Chains A and B, each alone.
Chain A
Amino acid sequence: MPFSTLSDIQSRLDAGQTTAVAVAKTYLDRIAAFNGDLNAFVDIDPAHVLEQAEASDAYRAKHGARALEGLPIAVKDIFCTQDGPTRCCSNILKDFHAPYDAHVITRLKEAGAVLVGKTNMDEFAMGSSTETSAFGPCRNPWDLERIPGGSSGGSASAVAAALAPAALGTDTGGSIRQPASVCGITGLKPTYGRVSRRGIIAFASSLDQAGPMARTVKDAAMIAAAISGHDSMDSTSVPDAPAVDWLGACDKTDMKGLRIGKPKEYFVDGMDAGVRAAIDAALAECAALGAEIVDISLPHTDAAVAAYYVIAPSEASANLSRYDAVRFGHRCENPEDLLDMYTRSRDEGFGAEVKRRILTGTFALSSGYYDAYYIKAQQVRTLIRQDFIDAFEQVDVIATPTSPITAFKLGEKTDDPLTMYLSDIFTIAINLAGLPGMSQPCGFVEGLPVGLQWIAPAWREDLILNAASAYEAATDWVKTPINFGGEA
């Protein structure tokens, strides 16, 4: 049971073979047994989980099942929930309780899901390893000495170890896809504007997007279906976004006629040879399923990380100015005056990586530097977006490695922020262009999972789900870590 897919659990609930309460208990027991090793959850309230499960069973008995009835879903600590704390894994929010639910949380509740705790993350989603969390690092169930990726590392670790069958993450520069990749699960970042950002603690507003992290493509699609759609209270939620048949798109078992672009800039020197071999094998499998592999170029790829590390910190420096110790958040003891209160509270509340990003953004936006950095980065963003528009004239989807390497060791990259920033080299451009992207498992190198990334034109998540479903049906890379009760 613990390693069941969401859709299997749903079938058994629908057939009356189990109950939401029994399902919830299974995962609560696993959390109690394994979270000490993983630190995937930073808040869990078993009594509240069981209450939701009981309410779900009662709802099913009276009205029938909703789309996610009784299914346990973990959520990243970045989503505002009225129940329990919402801390974004930062000391500055250590006492914060959200006065409202994020739109996606409301959607999950309306679909009958049982929300299971808050998952660990890099502080304010700034990181690629879940090591900057104020609640201590999270670990990778495939090797406890290694990072689970980030920033949605807690969600990835929890799903990979079956402490929950699925989870929500957010992705600003790869924070769903990269942890999904290194933990061997499936993660989808929808098109920017597909999912409401209301109630998701803001990092970089023009890049942030929430999405599902799950064991299979269909499980991810089930959650995407529930959380997508226009929200009039988020001005960046797109009102007339083309609809997707989320579940129907997962029925595909071949790739006949599909043109897959293979961008040369994503197969670079310095990437792990094992990762490259796994991706090459995956593309060979796609060809065997009927796809045509087309060599393409995305010529501005090299500039993506630099553009991102101007744009994202700039937006972050503005977004995080709200932590002023007045309306919410940590306030220092005995402030001498207003300035002392601001500066000392923010020094005490923010961790080192968050400070680095705020300082970087403040510098890029400051007088005399704004044109050279911020405007320049936004122009490069236009070029990066145009690269994809041009490429999609030739191909239907693009396939790349999600990450050039497998999970690295804890502490390996914490000394040099720039090295850490380069872990997202293959995911960042997709956020800058606002496109949908997915990572799915496609092999192992020395026992560590490798992820295959799919990229599609804006609003064409269906093309990603078609390709990923066919690949998943033809292969057997959705594995379970043996130390957590899996069959290896």
Chain B
Amino acid sequence: MDIDVRKVAMLSRIRLTDDEAAELGPQLSNIIGYVEQLSAVNTDGVEPIAHPHDIAMPQRVDAVTNSNRRDALQASAPKTESGLYVVPKVIE
């Protein structure tokens, strides 16, 4: 299969240099070519599973259980100001 690696990269929010695109494009096609063998498996009437066990997600009481740890949580952020995350201007 021929895959538009630049389009997939944009969906992934990864910029690819020309060299990377030239290398990753054929590799991605190979990987997808390999997994296409799944189409040979008869799955008529088979339920898909997203999780190994047949159990419902547990629910907890809808109550605040955590304290305010803003400073600790923001300590690894690239850029903050007054407790807010700073990013490039979004709206002109």
Interface residues of A, Cβ cutoff 8 Å to B = 95-97, 99, 192-193, 206, 232, 235-236, 238-239, 300, 302-303, 306-307, 309-310, 317, 321, 324-331, 335-344, 346-347, 350, 352, 355-356, 358-360, 362-364, 366, 372-373, 375-383, 385, 417-418, 421, 432-435, 458
A235 and B87 form a contact (CB under 8 A): no
- Given contacts A341-B88, A417-B31, 12 further A-B pairs with CB under 8 A are A99-B69, A306-B37, A326-B87, A335-B88, A347-B15, A355-B20, A358-B14, A362-B8, A376-B41, A382-B47, A383-B43, A418-B31
Q: Enumerate chain A residues within 8 angstroms of B63, measured Cβ to Cβ.
A: none
CA distance A421 to B72 in the complex (A): 38
A377 and B49 form a contact (CB under 8 A): no
Q: Which of B27, B49, B73 has the most CB of A within 10 A?
A: B49
A433 and B52 form a contact (CB under 8 A): yes
Grouping DSSP codes into helix (H, G, I), strand (E, B) and loop, the B interface class, with mixed when no group exceeds half, is loop
A385 and B35 form a contact (CB under 8 A): no
Pick from B27, B46, B60, B69: contact of A232, CB under 8 Å: B60
Q: A347-B17, A373-B35, A373-B38 are in contact. Are A235 and B76 (CB under 8 A)?
A: no
A336 and B77 form a contact (CB under 8 A): no
Task: Give residues of chain B (1-43) contacting chain A, Cβ–Cβ below 8 Å.
Answer: 3, 5, 8-17, 20, 23-24, 27-28, 30-32, 34-39, 41, 43
Q: A363-B32, A458-B52 are in contact. Are A331 and B78 (CB under 8 A)?
A: yes
A418 and B32 form a contact (CB under 8 A): no
B78 and A326 form a contact (CB under 8 A): yes
Q: Enumerate chain B residues within 8 angstroms of A99, measured Cβ to Cβ.
A: 69, 72-73, 75-76
CA distance A350 to B13 in the complex (A): 12
B27 and A327 form a contact (CB under 8 A): no
A380 and B43 form a contact (CB under 8 A): yes
CA distance A335 to B36 in the complex (A): 38
B39 and A347 form a contact (CB under 8 A): no
CA distance A398 to B49 in the complex (A): 23
Q: A338-B88, A359-B24 are in contact. Are A380 and B31 (CB under 8 A)?
A: no
Which chain A residue shows the least CB distance to B85? A326
**Size bracket, chain B contacts:** 35 or more
Which chain A residue shows the least CB distance to B60? A232
CB distance from A194 to the nearest CB of B (A): 11
Chosen A-B contacts, 27 in total, with CB atoms closer than 8 Å, are A99-B69, A99-B76, A232-B60, A300-B41, A302-B37, A303-B37, A307-B35, A325-B78, A329-B76, A336-B88, A337-B89, A338-B87, A341-B88, A343-B9, A346-B14, A352-B23, A355-B12, A355-B20, A356-B31, A359-B5, A376-B43, A378-B48, A379-B41, A382-B46, A383-B41, A418-B30, A421-B34
Which chain A residue shows the least CB distance to B4? A363
B55 and A377 form a contact (CB under 8 A): no
CA distance A342 to B47 in the complex (A): 36
B85 and A321 form a contact (CB under 8 A): no
CA distance A119 to B36 in the complex (A): 36
Q: Enumerate chain A residues within 8 angstroms of B39, measured Cβ to Cβ.
A: 372, 376
Pick from B16, B57, B77: contact of A235, CB under 8 Å: B57
CA distance A291 to B64 in the complex (A): 53
A379 and B48 form a contact (CB under 8 A): yes
B85 and A362 form a contact (CB under 8 A): no
